[in-house]
Amino acid sequence: MNDRKQKLIVITGPTATGKSGLAIELALELGGEILSADSMQVYKGMDIGTAKTPFDERKGVPHHLLDVVDPDEEFNASIFRSLSLPLLAEIQSRGNVGLVVGGTGLYIKVLLGGLLYCPSPDPDLKSELKSLCDQEGSQFLHGQLQMLDPESAEKIHPNDSIRIIRALEIIQSANDRLSSIRRQHAFKDKPFDVMKICLNMKREDLYDRINKRCLHMVENGLVEEVEGLLEKGYASHLRPMQSIGYRHVSHFLEGTWDLEKTISQLKVDTRRYAKRQLTWFRADPEMIWLGPEAQIEVHDKIRAFLGEEQKIPLEQ
């Protein structure tokens, strides 16, 4: 019986580094299928603002976990993993190479290392903490978290009330620090043999690409896309509608910002998001960092990693 782990290639990195283009190129070369690890591209009708690769640019390469749910439906890392595992098994059964592609670090971590099991949400406790947050502010609760679990507090922004409340809820329900629970779990459930590649480039080049992408999105219909979603009844307060690009255009449509301010703030917030992504990926010692000048070398590295399991290229 062959009990070797399935080999996966992960292509990740901050936004606008060319992950999708490289992944399609590799899939055509190796005989691969792409599984999207992007927390926004799962939503139907959210195409321009999520930089979803248009169907006619996918060159026949199968893409999975795009357009899975409507913007008002729940989706999270747990659902992502539950859908991904059988899809990856199917890719393997077809004799193809699985390429996990996207910039949502948590989704990749959960897929490769398993779920962190914590106490189920306590509605009463959550309501109590939320009321306290409304009265005193998220920074007050962050101070409480700092006293109870300084390690977790260091990883959560003082304005991120959702994660602060959840951390405090876990601490009180489990009677243990969230950081301690994470250490015990250590994301040790590793069902795959993985090669992880992170694309990066000089900061000024990355920021230039981000700025151009933001402008391109607006010029190519982002405002109209958001208008269409709102007209379908997807309120601006929904979590996906509060993501980068969509909340910015909502401010424009509500008259809070003019178009110049909208584009300017979109560029700033996207650059900040890229910086957070880089911080996450740098914490992974297994990551292979790849700049634009070295992308030719990655083909040889991947072929060596796949070894005898390397596949015949898909028809182009």
Could you read off the pLDDT of 245-291 as tens digits, one per residue?
A: 999 999 999 999 999 999 999 999 999 999 999 999 999 999 999 98
User: Do the first three CATH levels of 6-116+187-309 and 123-185 match, i.e. the same topology?
Assistant: no
CA–CA gap between residue 228 and residue 222 (Å, rounded): 10
Residues 274, 15: contact at Cβ < 8 Å?
A: yes
Residues 103, 15: contact at Cβ < 8 Å?
A: yes
- CA angle 4/9/12 to nearest 5° reads 145
CA–CA gap between residue 270 and residue 275 (Å, rounded): 9
- Pair type for strands 63-64 and 32-36: parallel
Each domain of the chain, given as residue ranges in start order, spans 6-116+187-309, 123-185
Could you read off the pLDDT of 164-181 as tens digits, one per residue?
A: 998 888 888 767 676 776
CA–CA gap between residue 270 and residue 209 (Å, rounded): 11
pLDDT at 184: 63
CA–CA gap between residue 227 and residue 206 (Å, rounded): 29
CATH homologous superfamily of 6-116+187-309: P-loop containing nucleotide triphosphate hydrolases (3.40.50.300)
pLDDT at 151: 87
CA–CA gap between residue 60 and residue 156 (Å, rounded): 41
Task: Give me the tens of pLDDT residue by residue for the chain, a chain 316 residues long.
Answer: 456 899 999 999 999 999 999 999 999 999 999 999 999 999 999 999 999 999 999 999 999 999 999 999 999 998 999 999 999 999 999 999 999 999 999 999 999 987 665 666 678 888 899 999 999 999 999 999 898 988 888 888 888 888 899 888 888 876 767 677 666 644 556 889 999 999 999 999 999 999 999 999 999 999 999 999 999 999 999 999 999 999 999 999 999 999 999 999 999 999 999 999 999 999 999 999 998 777 667 888 898 999 855 554 444 3
pLDDT at 150: 86
pLDDT at 315: 41
Residues 7-17 as b/e (b if ≥16 CB within 10 A, e otherwise) read: bbbbbbbbbbb
Q: To which H or E segment does residue 97 belong? A: strand 97-101
123-185: CATH topology is Histone, subunit A (1.10.20)
pLDDT at 183: 65
pTM: 0.81
